[in-house]
Amino acid sequence: MQDRPHKKHAEKIIEQFRSEIGDDLCKKIGDYPFGSLSVLIESALNTAVMESMNDTVSDLEDVLKRVKKRARA
């Protein structure tokens, strides 16, 4: 498994954003803020995926409890 699985997606978002605002504004902003924004986006993606995975685990645990309860009945 990758150490940073959402890095490429975050970088693609930044590339798209840069193309939307244009070269002149990108030059005025500079590269550093875009790098920081990319890390923030990557972190948000990681958080969203982890929360979704935790919700899925909880859902599966609930299903397992119901299946066990039916099997005992």
In a domain, 17, yes or no: yes
Number of domains in the chain: 1
pLDDT in the model for residue 1:
54
Residues 6+ apart with CB under 8 A from 37: 14, 17
In a domain, 2, yes or no: no
Q: Where are the alpha helices (DSSP H) in the chain?
A: 7-21, 23-29, 31-72
pLDDT in the model for residue 56:
98
Task: Give the domain range for residue 26.
Answer: 7-72
Average pLDDT for consecutive 10-residue bins of the chain (73 residues)?
A: 86 98 97 97 97 97 96 89
pLDDT in the model for residue 73:
83
The C-alpha torsion from 51 through 2 and 19 to 29, rounded to 10°, is: 90
Closest CA to 8 of 36, 45, 33, 53: 45
